[in-house]
Amino acid sequence: MAKKLLIFTDLDGTLLDLRSYSFAGAEEALRVLRELQIPMIIATSKTRREIEFWQQRLGIRDPFIAENGGGIFIPKDSSLPPPEGARDTDGYFVLSRGVPYATIRRIVQDLRQRGFRLRGFGDMSPQEVAQLTHMTEEEAQLAKEREFTEPCLFEGDEEALRVALKERGLTFWRGGHFIHIQGFHDKGQAMEVLEGLYRMKGGDFETVALGDSPNDLPMLQRARWPIIIRRTRGISERAPRIDQLTITQEEGSRGWGKAILELLRRLGYG
């Protein structure tokens, strides 16, 4: 009998192709997951509003992890129990694990006054965010509706910035264009919370995690079946030692789709 699965996935460069944001290469795998009713939990640096946009396009309504683990969102009509400490808001049970965005913005502004050359999404128009990220202006507006993290353009000494942020209870991780300023949370910690809730609801699950970037490593290291999606200048080029690790041959949605279908076959899903 096939084991029950929980799938945790990044979006950009993983399920979604870079630049085009297409998921065409994963559509067959997504259809199969829906038919099998296997939960697919998005775990991304994107905001709640961005994830809602993509869930609608992908045809899923499972819990999700926003802003690199800063927030865990469980739809109230889900069968999962709300986690301890969650608040009831906007149709979700929300467990906040990050520093409030307003606090992060105040710290960014303070550091800028102290000579750090930081410019965050909060300083940019939707048009500028769209130009920098290759999003539409509608998507860029959703990306600006932040709750737990601030993507910033930064020029200067990253170690000095890290020290200054740590003194103020924050840290950052580097993405492609931006550094992402946040509290001390990650996708792996949020994944652990959701694993526990699913196991409370329905017994044992094996976890699958898919990602392409350094901020995906805590999630990949926790998963029973970790899958790194190949990407130029991604972690596939310097993959760490992780048990049962798979690295795809293809990038983006095609790599994602093929990896999921192959894993399902290996685990007895037909």
Q: Which residues on neighbouring strands pair with residue 152, listed in sequence order? A: 120, 179
Q: Is the pLDDT of residue 176 over 90?
A: no
Res 232: pLDDT:
87
- Strand spans (E) along the chain: 5-9, 40-43, 64-66, 71-75, 87-89, 92-96, 117-120, 149-155, 171-174, 179-182, 206-211, 225-230, 246-251
pLDDT band at 239 (very low <50, low <70, confident <90, very high): confident
The pTM assigned to this predicted structure is: 0.96
Mean pLDDT of the chain: 96
In the chain, what are the domain boundaries? 5-97+186-266, 101-182
Check if the beta carbon of residue 85 is closer than 8 Å to that of residue 171.
no
CATH homologous superfamily of 101-182 equals Putative mannosyl-3-phosphoglycerate phosphatase; domain 2 (3.30.980.20)
Q: Is the pLDDT of residue 2 over 80?
A: no
Cα atoms in the Cβ-side hemisphere of radius 13 Å centred on 260: 30
Res 1: pLDDT:
60
Res 237: pLDDT:
84
Give tens-digit pLDDT for 92-108: 999 999 999 999 999 99
SS3 of residue 259 by DSSP: helix
Q: Is the pLDDT of residue 15 over 70?
A: yes
CATH homologous superfamily of 5-97+186-266 equals HAD superfamily/HAD-like (3.40.50.1000)
| Minimum mean pLDDT range among 95-99, 141-145, 238-242 | 238-242
The catalytic site residues sit at 10
User: In this structure, what token pair is assigned to residue 40?
Assistant: 């697919």
Give tens-digit pLDDT for 36-86: 999 999 999 999 999 999 999 999 999 999 999 999 999 999 999 999 999
Q: Is the pLDDT of residue 191 over 80?
A: yes
